[in-house]
Amino acid sequence: MKKSLLLFSICLFFIATTWGQAGSIGIMPYPQSLIIKEGQFVFPTTTHLNYIGNKSILIEKAIARFSKKYKQYSLKNIVVDQRNNPNIQIEWVKEKNTDVKSKEGYTLSIDDHVTIKAFTEIGILNALESLAQLLNAYSQGAVLQKMEIQDWPSFPWRGMMVDVARHFIPLDMMKRNVDAMAAVKYNILHLHLSDDEGFRIESKKYPRLHQQGSKGEYYTQAEMLDLIAYCKDRGIVVYPEFDLPGHSQSWFAGYPDLAAEKKEYHPGLRFTVPGDKPMSLMTLMQLAKSSATPTIDPSKETTYTFLDGLLKEMKGIFGSGGYVHMGLDENNGVAWQKNPAIVKFMQTKGIKTTHGLQTYFANRFSNIIEKNGYQPLAWEEAFDSSVSKNILIQLWRPGFMGTPLTPEEIANQGNKSISSRGFYLDVFMPAYYHYLNDDFTKFNISPNLLGGESAIWGELMDASNFETRVWPRAAVIAERLWSDKNRIEVSSMYERMFKLNRYLSWNGLNQINNSARAISEFLNGYSNPGTEALIKVLAPVKGYKRIMAIMTKPEVLKTSAFGEMADIIPIDAEAKWQFRKQVENYLDNPSEANTALVTNTLLLWKNCATDVNELLLNAPKLISIRKHAENLSNIANLLLAYLPQKNETDKAVLLKQITMAKSTINEVDLAVVEELEALVNGRFKELDRSISLF
């Protein structure tokens, strides 16, 4: 008994020290096994790199990208040659191994030289991405801590879904996004290419799809081929989603005969928000449920001929063997019920419900997909007992929409699944919410769950804020899909995430620059320290509240451009997590140094109301966050007086003020209320994971 207790303690100690170190090793996703060794390896002025193994264009290109990054950090050169005792040796070990570990895994040893080994080209690519991150973390003079990494993915499917239909994302921006994806070992890019608001790929066979369905914003076939090749070089597979039978208004602009309801169509919202008055959430949901939203006609053979023609054409672009996503989400069936020919069709076929008709459509569409050499994939609404077992099911619906479907239930019917539940980036949740996703951290995960996808829907983003909305949180989801589910350490994760954020920015991603530029525009080019400090601790309201605010205010909907504070600031305020660390240290040990750090931050915040007021004349948009400035100043002032004395009466006043400061104002929250509250109470509450979506 005692012995096992001792063993348990040793294990705990080991886990604790490994986790403790994790924060200081700047790498994301965190490797499955990383052992720190004594000493450091200093790269020489000219680094010799030797690649052993069969010729591989993919690896040669990856080495060239790595060398470019290395030069950027260290101003030193890499020479690729066959010299003995190279500084970096890369070996593609040919073996017929097909398990997940060896398909993408690698070993990376940093000793008196760097050795990389992998069974596949992709493994080598992954190792080079890890090495580049590590070099960046220890950039000065290209010095690396000696260590031994053995790494492999937990899940084979690590995707990102990007909605380019609501707002178009141009090719160069998508390529930057792909570079960032490769850096954190995503291997799948799911492009949501069509929705009510846009059809975003050129079709030569049915040209009115992109001509009349995209307002001129679409990928030409040449551009898509370019993007696919770019992704392939980085170990990423691209697959398209053609979302049907609902979400299809843009198709009908050019091909109205495909629609269940005969009328004129233009790309745009799938139901009209009537009147000019703000609407309640209930009214809006009712409207979505009861409107005859644009839906394809599943009763006509010509529909299937059309889809077959489109998929045949797309084979020339996406190749075959991969996946095609059919959508199948959020179809309320109303447009079908309103069409007598469709109702008759259902009777003839003995189909009792519109859901049954959707299953009929799903099976027809998936047959066409398979006939054309692809594999079918659909959102979870497609799932029922009579849908084809070949359809991979993508979970997404959170609990509030009824009991959530599970990978186990799907597996019981013989289908495989992936999940985006808890991975929606457009819901503005902090990174820890994604990181702690129960579906991917619980003890027993169905082997039929192949992995997951982060997902960014496009209602609240366009090219101006796409990168800021996706990164750095997408990296945390990549870590959840790659790393050991038992290694959960939120503060290390945040430390590494913000490090990675800067790394991605140095490598060309515009997530930090775009936010800074938009904030400068918001401030009309003016600034002062208090205002800057305030903006750094703001965050958009969590959940769907920002989109609801836009949807339920028709006047905003008409003019919406993403220039309000809620649209331009990062979801996770780095200054919040830095302050949290200060407060944790102070509560642990209120030493002079720890007290001074907290006090200095409070002194900065104390002035933010005065500073914001000073700028108001020149930067009038600041009015939307003035109340937050007043709250923060007020609380900082009170805390500066409270902390040395800890007077009970002051405490009550403070807690009341903090409760008031929790209010969302213009869809913006003060992100440091939990930390302020902890300073008063002397302890932190658990991180909130039951954040309401509405």
Bond into 245 cis (ω within 30): yes
Which one, of 436, 428, 477, lies nearest residue 457 by Cα?
A: 428
Minimal distance, residue 394 CB to ligand ACM, in Å:
8
Cα(357)–Cα(337) distance, integer angstroms: 11
Phi, psi of 37 (to 5 degrees): -120, 170
Residue 396 binds ligand ACM, judged by CB under 6 A: yes
Contacts for 150 with CB less than 8 Å, ≥ 6 apart: 31, 32, 33, 105, 107
End-to-end CA separation in angstroms for the chain: 50
Q: Is the dihedral of CA 344, 348, 352, 355 positive or negative?
A: negative
* Residues 431-450 close enough to bind ligand ACM by CB under 6 A: none
Q: Which residues contact 259 (CB under 8 A, 6 or more apart)?
A: 248, 251, 252, 265, 294, 295, 296, 297, 335
| Residue 179 vs 330, nearer CB to ligand ACM | 330
Contacts of 292 (CB under 8 A, 6+ apart): 261, 334, 335, 338
Interior/surface letters 426-455, b for 16+ CB within 10 angstroms, e for the rest: bbbbbbbbbbbbebbeeeebbebbbbbbbb
Say how far apart CA 162 and CA 474 lie, in whole Å.
11
Q: How near is the Cβ of 356 to ligand ACM at its closest, in Å?
A: 20
From the CB of 379, what's the least distance to ligand ACM, in Å?
A: 4
**Residue 313 binds to ligand ACM (criterion: CB under 6 A):** no
* Tokens encoding 526: 């003016």
Q: Which of 329, 479, 489, 495 binds ligand ACM (CB under 6 A)?
A: 329
Contact map string, positions 600 to 619, toward ligand ACM, x by CB under 6 A: --------------------
Output 192 or 473, the one with its CB closest to ligand ACM: 192
Nearer to ligand ACM, 73 or 379 (CB): 379
Residue 361 or 379 with smaller CB distance to ligand ACM? 379
Nearer to ligand ACM, 469 or 628 (CB): 469
Contacts of ligand ACM in 542-601 (CB under 6 A): none
Q: Report the nearest approach of ligand ACM to the CB of residue 329 (Å).
A: 4
Supply the angle between the helices 171-183 and 221-233 in degrees, to the nearest 10. 20
Q: How far is the CB of 142 from ligand ACM (least distance, A)?
A: 44
537 — alpha (psi -120 to 50), left (phi > 0) or beta?
Answer: alpha
Residue (379 or 432) nearer to ligand ACM, CB = 379
The minimum distance between CB 396 and ligand ACM, in angstroms, equals 5
Under 8 Å between Cβ of 202 and 317: no
Q: How far is the CB of 615 from ligand ACM (least distance, A)?
A: 39
Omega of the bond prior to 376 within 30 degrees of 0, cis? Answer: no
Give whichever of 284 and 660 is closer to ligand ACM, judged by the CB atom.
284
Q: Collapsing DSSP states into helix, strand and coil, what is residue 643?
A: helix
CB closer to ligand ACM, 235 vs 267: 267
Hey, what are 134's tokens? Answer: 């590590």
Residue pair 229/171 in contact (Cβ under 8 Å)? The answer is: no
Residue 559 C-beta: closest distance to ligand ACM, Å? 25
Phi-psi group of 633: left, alpha or beta (phi > 0 → left; psi -120 to 50 → alpha; rest → beta): alpha
- Report the site for ligand ACM in 93-132 (rule: CB under 6 A): none
| Closer CB to ligand ACM, 176 or 270, in the complex | 270
Q: With contact defined as beta carbons under 8 Å apart, do 328 and 362 qualify?
A: yes
Size of the site for ligand ACM (CB under 6 A): 4
Contact at 8 Å (CB) between 429 and 691?
yes
Helix ranges (H only) for 255-293 are: 281-290
The catalytic residue among 91, 330, 614, 630 is: 330
Tell me the closest approach of the beta carbon of residue 380 to ligand ACM, in angstroms: 8
Rounded distance, CA 90 to CA 153, Å?
20
Rounded CA separation 304/580 (Å): 57
Q: Which of 323, 379, 471, 577 binds ligand ACM (CB under 6 A)?
A: 379
CB nearer to ligand ACM: give 313 or 330. Answer: 330
Residue in 121, 233, 313, 330 binding ligand ACM, rule: CB under 6 A: 330
Do residues 582 and 597 make contact, with C-beta atoms less than 8 angstroms apart?
yes
**Annotation marks residue 380 as catalytic:** no
3-state DSSP assignment of residue 125: helix
Report whether 65 contacts 96 (CB < 8 A).
no
Residue pair 181/236 in contact (Cβ under 8 Å)? The answer is yes
**Helices 340-349, 354-371: crossing angle, 10 deg rounding:** 80
When CB distances to ligand ACM are compared, the closest residue is: 329
Binding mask 336-375 for ligand ACM (x = CB under 6 A): ----------------------------------------
**Cβ 397 to ligand ACM shortest distance, Å:** 8
Report the run of H or E that residue 89 belongs to, with start and end.
strand 88-92
At its nearest, how many Å lie between ligand ACM and the CB of residue 693?
Answer: 12
Q: Which is nearer to ligand ACM, 138 or 365 (CB)?
A: 365
Applying CB under 6 A, does 223 fall inside the site for ligand ACM? Answer: no
Which residues in this chain contact ligand ACM in the complex, by CB under 6 A?
Answer: 329-330, 379, 396
Instruction: Write out the catalytic residue numbers.
Output: 330
